[in-house]
Amino acid sequence: MGGWSYAGRWALVTGASAGIGEAFARALAGRGMHVALSARREDRLRELAEELRSAHSVETAVLPADLSGPGAASGLWSMATAGGRSMSLLVNNAGFGLRGEFTELPLDRQQEMLRLNCAVPMELMHLALAAGTTGIINVASIAGYQPVPTMAAYSASKAFLLTLSEAVAEEMRGTSTRIVTVNPGPVATEFQRVAGTSVTRRTLGLRTPEQVVGAALRTLEAGGGTVVPGLTNRLSAVVVRVAPRSLVLKVAKKMMKSFR
């Protein structure tokens, strides 16, 4: 199974107002896909939507939403598919991270992160598959391959999404549905500011949003699967699976200090 038809079809992109989500929206519109854009910041969405319509002659839908609330995911899906729109591709990108000692981070903020990083993509994926959507891209993280001290709940949330996405992909094997699990390493986006981390041009494994999106779309076109963008990040994902768990934890803790 190869190739993927973009032109004239609809995609729903969450977290589309900045970073990787914005890069997905630009790349998909550039390939002729109509895009439904969702994030909390309506002004940014409208500006991006107008730019994409003008540059690529595609249709856009602006769907401002705070997905952390109860029922928000199903509400978003209803808005995205209103008026007979059929979503051929879902990009589950919305999410955030928190850095700090587990006992020092506010519990309610960690619970909000788990809802957005785990429950929302699971619900949207379930709704999309039930509606016949044949392309799903779940943005997990290289952090999901190992426990990360000082980002304990975040790494756990991405481990959940990674495992869920790969398991559902296997269930869908042999069908026309393609599921991509993309696991970025460090990327210079607003994520770092919210999470309380930082990266520089010297950060090991650093990728741009466009490089992450390119890797995800190539995997989609090839039939789906799991991808870790960047050779350094791919090697890291392999090493943490075979190295002693105690060593992985110590190295992860040391590396987190470099992201301050």
For residue 247, what pLDDT is reported?
Answer: 67
* CATH of residue 242: 3.40.50.720
For residue 240, what pLDDT is reported?
Answer: 75
pLDDT-derived band at 197 (thresholds 50, 70, 90) equals: low
Q: Is residue 187 part of a domain?
A: yes
- Average pLDDT score over residue span 86-112: 96
The answer on pLDDT for 195 being more than 60 is: no
pLDDT digits (tens, 9 = 90+) for 127-181: 999 999 999 999 999 999 999 999 999 999 999 999 999 999 999 999 999 999 9
Q: Kindly tell me the sign of the dihedral angle through the C-alpha atoms of 105, 109, 113, 114.
A: positive
**How far is residue 216's CA from residue 182's CA, in Å, rounded to a whole number?**
6
Neighbours of 215 (CB within 10 A): 19
For residue 248, what pLDDT is reported?
Answer: 64
Q: Is residue 104 part of a domain?
A: yes
Tell me what percent of the chain is helix, strand and coil, each rounded to the nearest 5.
Answer: 50, 15, 35
DSSP summary character for residue 187: B
Q: How many domains does the chain have?
A: 1
pLDDT digits (tens, 9 = 90+) for 180-194: 999 999 898 766 556
Range of the domain at 214: 10-258
Q: Is residue 4 part of a domain?
A: no
Q: Which of 24, 77, 154, 191 is catalytic?
A: 154
For residue 156, what pLDDT is reported?
Answer: 97
Q: Is residue 135 part of a domain?
A: yes
Residue 256 near residue 186, CB atoms below 8 Å: no
Residue 140 near residue 181, CB atoms below 8 Å: yes
The answer on pLDDT for 215 being more than 90 is: yes
User: What is the value of pTM for the model shown?
Assistant: 0.91
Q: Is residue 5 part of a domain?
A: no
pLDDT digits (tens, 9 = 90+) for 11-36: 999 999 999 999 999 999 999 999 99
Q: Is residue 1 part of a domain?
A: no
Q: Is residue 163 part of a domain?
A: yes
pLDDT-derived band at 3 (thresholds 50, 70, 90) equals: confident
For residue 188, what pLDDT is reported?
Answer: 80
Identify whether 6 is a catalytic site residue: no
